[in-house]
């Protein structure tokens, strides 16, 4: 059976599944129950230093986007960092770590951007016996307005400076948590590396307004008639997170910098995808908030079975897809596919026809008896018919072999060519 033991920047855990810093890791009782359920590690809900008190709203903190079956697709929150006293958190961390020495216990931190504040809190964290710190440069609401969280994460120079202080005043591994609310995520990751970070973790939540109450004319969640933007997370943000993880993994300036993947991980498959793109482990919040701590059991057994089936180890999986992420101009423009419809599976709904006829390439014909057929001479292989078809595997894409006639172009499929060398690229002709 595949070995799921993980060693992330020297922090050992029995599996690569950690709970992300958030309500599930807010206090001792939660974290103990999480460990009993099988989580390999937790990142404790972000601690701040003494200072202006952290006061949360007393109205709803969350806005939700549902799928058609009321499944939670995304959660938007306006919660702040922990509002529990620092000394209580520190005492609880110490007690949990003592009883669970084999689990990873990382402490998320957000303190004002001055050297003394960081120096002071790091000493207190070290005394708890925790395994490492995660710097919260990501939360987009509430604390950012006080010059912390994403206000730091959006300025690479600040990231580098604070990371340097953390490495100077502590021996603990330091993970820098990045905000997605930035144009090019490679810049803050590079800054973290320059500052001496042991790893980066991403993503924190995405700036968002999930919906507007059309009676109150105010964003939801609504607090006494007003709303503010919040941070979006859950399955809906996974595509954004995967791309950002891949961007960092394949950037030569951050090559080898370990990545903890976060954002919408709900199943073992999500975790495997993050790992294949270069994440050394994953962190989870929304899935635990939606389904409870035991979701980790499915993640553990699913990942183990997957690795066994593929006959690869976890380290073989990590980064295995990274070399296959490339820039558009390197895609093979001679690779040719055509849609094909399985008439036995077709339920004659006509969605493929409507989508293709109205918005794509008029490449599906509707014959007598609502028989739908692909017109190979019009099909550009955009995949929209596959995407809108309600029956899985009813419409699939068939790859044409090199040399096979493409009815659309009237020419046989040619061997590999990318845009850089493609005859239609004026730059490549100029280079000839
Ligand atoms: C209610 C709530 C509170 C959160 N609080 C924190 C926090 O204190 N510190 C932090 O770094 N991230 C915080 N996060 C962000 C999560 O750690 C995580 O980065 C994000 O939710 C994406 O993961 P997910 O899609 O699995 O939820 C919070 C998320 C939620 C939903």
- Counting from 1 in the atom list of ligand 1, the atom nearest the Cα of 177 is 11
Q: Is residue 137 part of a domain?
A: yes
Which token pair is 397?
């894409």
For ligand 1, the distance from its centroid to the CA atom of residue 45, given in whole angstroms, is 9
Pair (373, 298) in one structural domain: no
CATH number at residue 190: 3.20.20.70
The verdict on 261 and 377 lying in the same domain is: no
Q: Residue 223 sits in which domain range? A: 6-324
| 139 among known catalytic residues | yes
Alpha-carbon dihedral angle through residues 98, 265, 75, 175, given to the nearest 10 degrees:
50
In a domain, residue 302? The reply is: yes
Helix/strand/coil (H, E, C) string of 374-429? Answer: ECCCCCCCCCHHHHHCCCCCCEEEEECCCCCEECCCCEECCCCCCHHHCCCCHHHH
Work out which ligand 1 atom sits closest to the CA atom of 80: 8
Q: What is the pLDDT of residue 389?
A: 98
Contacting residues for 227 by C-beta, under 8 A, at least 6 apart:
78, 209, 218, 219, 220, 221
- 179 within domain boundaries: yes
Same domain, 319 and 404: no
Nearest to residue 84, comparing CAs of 6, 17, 25? 25
Instruction: End-to-end CA distance of the chain: give it in Å, rounded.
Output: 55
Domain assignment present for 1: no
C-alpha distance from residue 142 to each of 25, 231, 367 (Å): 19, 10, 59
In a domain? residue 209:
yes
Angle at which helices 28-37 and 86-99 cross, to 10°: 30
Which residue is listed with tokens 């008190």? 53
Query: From the CA of 268, how far away is ligand 1's center (Å)?
Result: 19
Q: Which atom from ligand 1 is nearest to the alpha carbon of 21?
A: 17
For residue 223, give the DSSP letter. B
Residue with the smallest CA separation from ligand 1 atom 23 is 263
The finding on whether 285 has its CB within 6 A of some atom of ligand 1 is yes
Residue 113 CA, ligand 1 centroid: distance in Å: 21
Rounded CA separation 233/237 (Å): 6
**DSSP assignment, residue 142?**
S
Closest C-alpha residue for ligand 1 atom 13:
22
Element (H, E) at 297: helix 295-310
Do you know the residue count of the chain? 432
**pLDDT value for 142:** 66
77 CA → ligand 1 middle, Å = 9
366 in a structural domain: yes
Secondary structure (3-state) at 199: strand
Q: How far apart are CA 119 and CA 110, in angstroms?
A: 12
> Where a domain ends, among 301, 324, 347?
324
Q: Could you say which of 302, 324, 346 is where a domain stops?
A: 324
Q: Are residues 240 and 103 in the same domain?
A: yes
Domain edge (last residue) among 324, 348, 367: 324
Determine whether the shortest distance from the Cβ of 234 to ligand 1 is under 6 A: yes
Neighbouring CB atoms inside 10 A of 382's CB total: 16
Residue nearest to ligand 1 atom 10, measured at CA: 21
Q: Report whether residue 22 contacts ligand 1, using a CB cutoff of 6 Å.
A: yes
DSSP 370: T
Non-local CB neighbours of 90 within 8 Å, separated by 6+ positions: 124, 125, 127, 128
Q: 241 in ligand 1 pocket by Cβ < 6 Å?
A: no
Which pLDDT tens digits describe the chain residue by residue (432 residues)?
999 999 999 999 999 999 999 999 999 999 999 999 999 999 999 999 867 778 888 889 899 999 999 999 999 999 989 989 999 999 999 999 999 999 999 999 999 888 999 999 999 999 999 999 999 987 666 666 667 777 788 999 999 999 999 999 999 999 999 999 999 999 999 999 999 999 999 999 999 999 999 999 999 999 999 999 999 999 999 999 999 999 999 999 999 999 999 999 999 999 999 999 999 999 999 999 999 999 999 999 999 999 999 999 999 999 999 999 999 999 999 999 999 999 999 999 999 999 999 999 999 999 999 999 999 999 999 999 999 999 999 999 999 999 999 999 999 999 999 999 888 898 876 444
> Looking at the structure, do residues 314 and 336 belong to the same domain, yes or no?
no
Assess whether 360 and 217 both reside in one domain. no
Residues 36 and 153 grouped into a single domain: yes
Of 8, 33, 190, 38, nearest in space to 106 by CA: 8
- Ligand 1 contact, 286 CB (< 6 A): yes
CB of 23 sitting under 6 A from ligand 1: yes
pTM of the model: 0.95
CA of 46 from ligand 1 middle (Å) equals 9
Q: Check pocket membership of 201 for ligand 1, CB cut-off 6 A.
A: no
Phi and psi at residue 175, in whole multiples of 5°?
Answer: -105, 130
Tell whether 367 and 278 lie within a shared domain.
no
> CA–CA distance from 1 to each of 5, 304, 315 (Å)?
12, 7, 14
C-alpha of residue 361 to centroid of ligand 1, in Å? 42
Q: Are residues 335 and 311 in the same domain?
A: no
Catalytic residue among 113, 139, 285, 356: 139
Is residue 25, in this structure, part of any structural domain at all?
Answer: yes
387 and 283 both lie in a single domain: no
**Total structural domains within the chain:** 2
Nearest ligand 1 atom, CA 288: 26
Question: Is residue 131 situated within a structural domain?
Answer: yes
| Residues 148, 151, 156, 159, Cα dihedral to 10° | 10
Q: What is the DSSP string of 13-61?
A: ESSSEEEPSSGGGSSHHHHHHHHHHT-SEEEEEEE--SSS-----SS--
Judgement on whether residues 313 and 367 belong to the same structural domain of the protein? no
Is the CB of residue 128 less than 8 Å from the CB of residue 106? Answer: no
Q: What is the pLDDT of residue 147?
A: 72
Which CATH number characterizes residue 344's domain? 3.30.70.20
Clarify whether residues 394 and 280 are in a common domain: no
């Amino acid at each position: 059976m595949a070995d799921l033991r993980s060693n992330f920047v020297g922090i050992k855990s029995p599996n690569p599944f950690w709970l992300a810093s958030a309500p599930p890791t807010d206090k001792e009782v939660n974290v103990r129950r999480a460990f009993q359920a099988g989580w390999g590690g937790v990142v404790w809900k972000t601690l701040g230093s003494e200072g202006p008190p952290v006061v949360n709203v007393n109205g709803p903190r969350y806005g939700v986007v549902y799928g058609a079956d009321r499944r939670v697709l995304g959660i938007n929150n306006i919660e702040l960092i922990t509002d529990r006293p620092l000394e209580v958190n520190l005492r609880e961390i110490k007690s949990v770590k003592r009883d669970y020495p084999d689990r990873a216990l990382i402490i998320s931190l957000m303190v004002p951007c001055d050297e003394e504040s960081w120096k002071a809190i790091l000493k207190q964290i070290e005394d708890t016996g925790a395994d490492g710190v995660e710097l919260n440069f990501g939360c987009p609401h509430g604390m950012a307005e006080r010059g912390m969280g994403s206000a730091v994460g959006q300025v690479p120079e600040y990231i580098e400076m604070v990371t340097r202080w953390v490495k100077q005043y502590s021996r603990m591994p330091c993970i820098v948590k990045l905000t997605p609310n930035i144009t090019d995520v490679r810049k803050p990751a590079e800054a973290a590396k320059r500052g001496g970070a042991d790893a980066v973790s991403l993503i924190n939540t995405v700036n968002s307004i999930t919906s507007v109450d059309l009676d109150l004319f105010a964003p939801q969640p609504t607090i006494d008639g007003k709303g503010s933007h919040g941070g979006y997370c859950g399955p809906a943000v996974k595509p954004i997170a995967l791309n950002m993880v891949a961007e960092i993994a394949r950037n030569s300036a951050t090559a080898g910098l370990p990545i903890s993947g976060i954002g919408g991980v709900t199943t073992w498959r999500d975790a495997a995808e993050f790992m294949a793109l270069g994440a050394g482990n994953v962190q989870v919040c929304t899935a635990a908030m939606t389904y409870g701590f035991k979701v980790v059991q499915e993640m553990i057994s699913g990942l183990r079975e997957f690795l066994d089936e593929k006959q690869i180890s976890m380290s073989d999986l990590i980064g295995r897809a990274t070399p296959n992420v490339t820039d558009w101009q390197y895609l093979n423009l001679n690779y040719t596919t055509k849609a094909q419809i399985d008439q036995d599976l077709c339920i004659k709904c006509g969605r493929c026809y409507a989508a293709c006829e109205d918005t794509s390439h008029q490449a599906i014909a509707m014959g007598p008896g609502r028989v739908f057929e692909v017109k190979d001479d019009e099909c550009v292989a955009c995949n929209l018919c596959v995407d809108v078809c309600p029956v899985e595997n009813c419409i699939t894409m068939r790859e044409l072999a090199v040399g096979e006639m493409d009815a659309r172009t009237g020419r046989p499929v040619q061997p590999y060519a990318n845009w850089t060398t493609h005859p239609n690229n004026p730059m490549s002709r100029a280079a000839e």
